Amino acid sequence: MALPYFTEEHEALRRTIRRFVEKELQPHADRWEEDGEFPSQVFRRMGELGFLGLRYPEEYGGQGGDYFTAIVLAEELARCRAPGLMLAVEVQTEMATPPILQFGTEDQKRRFLVPAIRGEKIACLGITEPDAGSDVASIRTTARREGNSYVINGTKIFITNGVRADFVTLVAKTDPARGTRGVSLFLVEKGTPGFTVGRKLKKLGNLSSDTAELVFENCRVPAENLLGTEGEGFRHIMWELQGERLIGAAGALAVAQCALEEAVAYAKQRVQFGRPIARFQVIAHYLAQCAAELEAARQLVYATAWRFARGEYPVREISMAKLIAAQVAHRVADYAVQIHGGYGYMKEYIVERYWRDTRLYRIGGGTDEIMREIIAKDMGLYE
């Protein structure tokens, strides 16, 4: 059934991206998972095809599309069979670069946003620290003004694209005494003295994307690399997180859809007790429940994305969408493993990968607990 959110142009884009995914990404996914990362050339290739700037203005090399072009990209990249790659691209297009377009100077847009859209520069987002994840206001990384520079000290952790990023959109405290009013954003380039990759982290899932610890030791950054207004960084990053959570919700459901399709196909061909297991009511009902929950969560994401695309700031609904989508996605992946039985626990079947990879959605971009907290506060439960 055609949905009111997607035009024929969106569907044409969907077909184009799907052909790219099937031809240029899927055949290599298993190797990239084994290698622990996909080649950086994928960014450049996607930049050449215009996929990294779908909803960015044409004046910066983008395609001038609407927010639902980003939804289409997330949904189709999920089919690449390496969700970590999708995550890495989402960091590039929907997390690290939107603040540059929204708050950056014209010079910053030319130096950072334009090459990122082309795939010539890879971006990452530096928020989380060893002692500050959900509580962004408690970050300890500092940026002290010295003449025409800021001197940055601190450590970031769990940074997707961190190993190979050409620059990081960094959150730091310029005035720790002012709390959230003392937080600022910076664009820190690879190769800046004092900025190093501490280590590449080993993780449970999303193996095709690199995740790093970043270290800043007396890292001197030019004052012109301050992104937005000094002291307004907390507000800026809270704005960024809304888009991050929404696109993450769409991506989570897209990966879960792939898991469901694998489970349906397996249930139809797996024979036990003389008939396909899809014909056993318990299995059929598992699959029906998954389909129903996915569709309900997807419609919540679409409706919220429609409001976000119109310029609204529906924090409560974005939090709801992120919470429900993340939980539904992992539950569907878990059912997919269960339906596969012992085979679902084996790496030769991709549902094992989907199960591992969807678990991150309940943590990254704001945990389930933080989403509930935001919703509860909006409901006035703490008055």
CA distances from 263 to 79, 341, 353, 357 (A): 15, 11, 13, 16
> Chain centroid to CA 210: how far?
13
Unique residue bearing structure tokens 């501490």: 198
For the stretch 308-346, pLDDT in tens is 999 999 999 999 999 999 999 999 999 999 999 999 999
Average pLDDT taken over every residue of the chain:
96
The CATH topology of domain 124-231 is Butyryl-CoA Dehydrogenase, subunit A; domain 2 (2.40.110)
Strands of the chain, DSSP E: 123-126, 142-146, 149-160, 167-173, 183-189, 195-200, 211-222, 226-227, 271-272, 275-276
Please report, rounded to a whole number, the percentage of residues in the chain having pLDDT higher than 70: 99
The CATH topology of domain 8-122 is Butyryl-Coa Dehydrogenase, subunit A; domain 1 (1.10.540)
pTM: 0.94
Instruction: Give CA–CA dist 271/294, Å, rounded.
Output: 26
Q: Where in the chain is the domain with CATH 1.20.140.10?
A: 235-378
Give the pLDDT of residue 132.
Answer: 84
Dmax of the chain from CA atoms?
A: 79
Give the pLDDT of residue 159.
Answer: 97
Beta bridge partners of 187: 169
For the stretch 291-310, pLDDT in tens is 999 999 999 999 999 999 99
Residue 2 scores a pLDDT above 70: no
Unique residue bearing structure tokens 């900025």: 195
Residue 42 scores a pLDDT above 70: yes
Specify the CATH number for 235-378; select among 3.40.50.2300, 1.20.140.10, 3.40.605.10, 3.40.50.150. 1.20.140.10
Q: Where in the chain is the domain with CATH 1.10.540.10?
A: 8-122
The answer to whether the CB of 283 falls within 8 A of the CB of 277 is: yes
Structure tokens at 75: 């949904």
Neighbours of 312 (CB within 10 A): 12
User: What is the dihedral sign for C-alpha 353, 359, 363, 365?
Assistant: positive
CA distances from 320 to 218, 245, 246 (A): 40, 10, 10
For the stretch 71-95, pLDDT in tens is 999 999 999 999 999 999 999 999 9
The answer to whether the CB of 318 falls within 8 A of the CB of 365 is: no
Nearest to 140 by CA among 124, 158, 121, 126: 126
Find all residues with CB under 8 Å of 42, minimum gap 6, and list them: 25, 85
Q: How far apart are the first and last CA of the chain?
A: 44
